[in-house]
Amino acid sequence: MQRVDVSAVNRAGAVLADPDQWALFVDIDGTLLGVAPTPDAVTVPAGLVPLLEAVVRGLGGAAAILTGRRVADADRLFAPLELIASGVHGTELRADRGGAVAVLAKPIPPSVIQAMNNIASIASGILVEQKGCGVAVHYRNAPLARQALESEMAAIVAASSYELVLRQGRKVLEAVPRGYSKGTALTALASRPPFKGRRPVMVGDDVGDESAFLAAERLGGLALRVAGEHFDCGTADFDGVHSVRAWLEALARRMAMQYATRGQSSRTG
């Protein structure tokens, strides 16, 4: 599939112009939801869940969540929806809506988890989050501890016999199995129905989304960036979470209009 030429139009607008050719992949924190002091403190705006349902339906099911959270956490946030999703940076995958979640990597060894828990004592406010196949250390409430945390975590990863990599995020450092990413998840899903034959568009806000941006572009699609702590407004496609939601609302309206027009044509044809 050749890369789409959007030089003459707004990149996000290219998706609105012809939704039928696109498959949507979207991050959660900083993209669909505002960033909160802790992962459990995020709030889901009223109307977002039915909006996601409308977008998924309009795209014929070709929409997926790609997140660093566990898939079960995404389900909790967007209940009752159980969307096609990848969690923990590609190590969890639900390829069918409402289906089982496949765990693609081995759990983080207990010795690594214990070592990560121990480094929380570096500063007050550090939060260690166990994710099964990954472990995240949040320092949003202890920003001055970042350098020390990164050094300690890098040493733990290097000393482990389990092949791990250290990933950076918005005020978080994560140890996850090597060989998995949002990019590997996007690539895997893009080869399956209902995504196959559509151009992937990835919407994200952080360094953890970069692999999925590259994968989408490699498959002839688009990378749409959300301004925040990683991308500034000058280089981003969206000013923030509010802009992403407005775009999704426009996308849902566009697809509803197309559906209504087709229905009218079939009745008069």
75 is catalytic: no
The active-site residue out of 27, 29, 209, 237 is 27
CB distance 66 to 202 below 8 Å: yes
Cα separation values, 214 from 207, 221, 222, Å:
12, 9, 9
DSSP code, position 33: B
Token output for 73: 């956490």
CB distance 223 to 208 below 8 Å: no
Question: Where would I find the beta strands (DSSP E) of the chain?
Answer: 22-26, 63-66, 85-87, 92-94, 102-103, 127-130, 135-138, 164-169, 172-177, 199-204, 222-225
How many degrees, rounded to 5, is the angle at CA 78 between CA 167 and CA 195? 70
List beta partners, residue 199.
Answer: 22
Catalytic residues: 27
